[in-house]
């Protein structure tokens, strides 16, 4: 079929108000960071799973590539079409935003892929339950289908796990258009291969997640948050170990923030302030929940007082409004850095005990190679996931710096990560950004197995091609 006929057929499936073409489609073909952009024959907005299935079948029959998309907040270029001139259709799931069921007794919620996180938080709260996937900068825009497709992490992983750990079942449209209904809400189901986990973290390359059964948790009856000035990341690691020994699994988040992060937030984000009277090079924000019967802030204060001289000062509050002053700093780091200009971004993980070594080794090597750079290091120290971004102090020089040196910067950072038994992608996925990089860090057998799985499910290679592998 000709392109015009394809668009007519797509409109017949999703209705005329469910399709964008030409210039109207352009905003959905460019990623959140502004790094990747392609072109699509159309962007379609199916209203239900059947429509997704019919769109996929039409594309496959006409050898057209399919790009699944949610809130389009991918940081690695996974949710936009390739810039290679091929025929591509974007399937945006944002209209599929129904919460199908909330089961408070089973502590589950069944939702469609286009549901935004804020809607899930509200639905859980209405049932006096908690959905704990705690993302930061892009949370208002991201959708649960994309969160599952990238196995999103966030600030609650220490207590609740990644997106994979919060999922019980999936509904998926397969690369040939068939619909697999795996929306089981069971905690135990040992009946063969656990197929649902194939699609978590696959970034839409193996199937299109259209709905999910998710875990809910009891709402915390009390919380306490601390902002802590620490000497360096190594001391922060020791502090985490101490708090886990004294407070157990009540810790839900443990976030590390460098001075460069704080400076950018104070510069670009309104209603933010220095947490302490003195300027400190490193901060930690940690949150605990449900320590009873003693007052929670007292428990945390005592643990901090007994830690040692690695702490310069700290403040504890059980008031959530007061705590939000500190969380506002953490949640706006990415937005503040974006306002400052582009950078070489890394989303890496190492064993928690090696976080301090990673930051020390990578920073020393980079500063020796590129004097005067800015290193923005922050992230989820509680699970070893550090966001580690490099740019020039003068934003006007960033474009030339990245074009000339990004490859070598990656080699330095990823070399340190590999030497510490880490991963070059912790929670953002591979997308286009790291598709080729991963071949240096996965074994030949791992890559062969991944390719075999891809060929088995998507023999035509039409589902989100050029991403992951």
pLDDT tens digits for range 9-44: 999 999 999 999 989 999 999 987 778 899 999 999
Rg (CA), the chain: 23
**Phi and psi angles of residue 208, each rounded to the nearest 5 degrees, phi first:** -105, 110
Across residues 258-271, what is the average pLDDT?
A: 96
Across residues 203-210, what is the average pLDDT?
A: 97
Please, what is the average pLDDT of the chain? Answer: 93
Q: Is the pLDDT of residue 329 over 90?
A: yes
> Quick one: tokens of 452?
């075999």
pLDDT for 395 equals 84
> Quick one: tokens of 110?
């069944």
Distance of CA 316 to the CA centre of its chain: 28
pLDDT band at 156; cut points 50, 70, 90:
confident
pLDDT for 301 equals 85
Q: Is the pLDDT of residue 380 over 90?
A: yes
Q: Is the pLDDT of residue 432 over 70?
A: yes
**Residue with tokens 């922050």, as numbered in its chain:** 378
Across residues 200-229, what is the average pLDDT?
A: 95
Query: Please, what CATH class does the domain formed by 341-437 belong to?
Result: alpha beta
Per CATH, 3-92 and 341-437 having the same topology is answered no
Phi-psi region of 429 (alpha: psi -120 to 50; beta: other; left: phi over 0): left
Query: Please, what CATH class does the domain formed by 223-334 belong to?
Result: alpha beta
Q: Is the pLDDT of residue 170 over 70?
A: yes
Least confident of 340-344, 354-358, 459-463: 340-344
- Inter-helix orientation angle 233-247/296-305, to 10°: 130
For the chain, report the end-to-end CA distance as a whole number of angstroms. Answer: 29
pLDDT for 293 equals 45
**% of the chain beyond a pLDDT of 90:** 76
pLDDT for 342 equals 85
Q: Is the pLDDT of residue 294 over 60?
A: no
Q: Is the pLDDT of residue 292 over 70?
A: no
For the segment(s) 3-92, the CATH number from 3.30.300.130, 3.20.20.80, 3.30.43.10, 3.20.20.70 is 3.30.43.10
pLDDT for 140 equals 63
Q: Is the pLDDT of residue 236 over 90?
A: yes
Calpha distance 181→146 (Å, rounded) = 18
Domain ranges of the chain: 3-92, 99-218, 223-334, 341-437
Least confident of 7-11, 293-297, 336-340: 293-297
Q: Is the whole-model pTM more than 0.85?
A: yes
Across residues 188-213, what is the average pLDDT?
A: 96
**Residue with tokens 């589950």, as numbered in its chain:** 108
Across residues 166-171, what is the average pLDDT?
A: 98
**% of the chain beyond a pLDDT of 70:** 98
- Residue whose C-alpha is closest to residue 182's, from 199, 169, 197, 166: 169
Specify the fold of 99-218. Answer: 3.30.465
pLDDT digits (tens, 9 = 90+) for 58-71: 999 999 999 999 98
The residue among 290 and 370 whose pLDDT is bigger is 370
pLDDT for 195 equals 96
Across residues 165-175, what is the average pLDDT?
A: 98
């Amino acid at each position: 079929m000709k392109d015009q006929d394809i668009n007519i057929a797509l409109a017949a499936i999703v209705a005329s108000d469910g399709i964008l073409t030409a210039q109207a489609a352009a905003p959905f073909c460019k990623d959140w960071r502004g790094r990747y952009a392609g072109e699509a024959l159309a962007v379609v907005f199916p209203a239900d799973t059947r429509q997704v299935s019919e769109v996929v079948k039409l594309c496959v029959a006409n050898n057209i590539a399919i790009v699944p998309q949610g809130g389009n907040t991918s940081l690695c270029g996974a949710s936009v079409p390739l810039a290679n001139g091929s025929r591509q259709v974007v399937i945006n799931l944002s209209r599929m935003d129904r919460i199908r069921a909330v089961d408070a007794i089973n502590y589950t919620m069944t939702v469609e892929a286009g549901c935004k996180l804020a809607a899930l938080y509200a639905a859980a709260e209405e049932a006096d339950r908690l959905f704990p996937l705690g993302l930061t900068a892009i949370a208002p825009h991201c959708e649960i289908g994309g969160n599952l497709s990238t196995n999103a992490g966030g600030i609650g992983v220490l207590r609740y796990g990644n997106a994979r750990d919060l999922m019980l079942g999936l509904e998926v449209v397969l690369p040939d258009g068939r619909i697999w209904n795996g929306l089981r809400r069971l905690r135990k189901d040992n009946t063969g291969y656990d197929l649902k986990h194939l699609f978590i973290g696959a970034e839409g390359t193996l199937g299109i997640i259209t709905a999910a059964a998710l875990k809910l948790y009891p709402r915390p009856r009390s919380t306490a948050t601390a902002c802590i000035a620490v000497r360096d990341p190594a001391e922060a690691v020791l502090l985490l170990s101490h708090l886990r020994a004294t407070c157990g699994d009540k810790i839900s988040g443990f976030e590390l923030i460098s001075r460069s992060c704080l400076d950018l937030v104070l510069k670009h984000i309104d209603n933010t302030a220095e947490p302490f009277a003195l300027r400190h090079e490193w901060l930690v924000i940690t949150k605990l929940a449900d320590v009873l019967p003693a007052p929670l802030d007292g428990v945390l204060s005592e643990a901090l007082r007994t830690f040692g001289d690695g702490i310069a000062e700290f403040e504890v509050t059980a008031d959530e409004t007061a705590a939000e002053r500190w969380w506002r700093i953490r949640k706006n780091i990415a937005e503040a850095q974006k306002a400052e200009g582009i950078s070489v971004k890394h989303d890496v993980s190492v064993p928690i005990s090696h976080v301090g070594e990673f930051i020390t080794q990578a920073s020393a090597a980079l500063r020796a190679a590129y004097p005067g750079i800015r290193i923005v290091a922050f992230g989820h120290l509680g699970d070893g996931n550090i966001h580690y971004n490099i740019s020039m102090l003068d934003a006007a020089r960033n474009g030339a710096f990245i074009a000339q040196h990004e490859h070598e910067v990656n080699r330095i950072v990823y070399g340190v990560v590999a030497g510490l038994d880490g991963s070059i992608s912790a929670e953002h996925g591979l997308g286009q950004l790291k598709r080729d990089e991963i071949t240096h860090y996965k074994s030949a057998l791992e890559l062969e197995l991944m390719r075999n799985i891809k060929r088995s499910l998507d023999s035509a290679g039409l589902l989100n091609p050029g991403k992951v592998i």
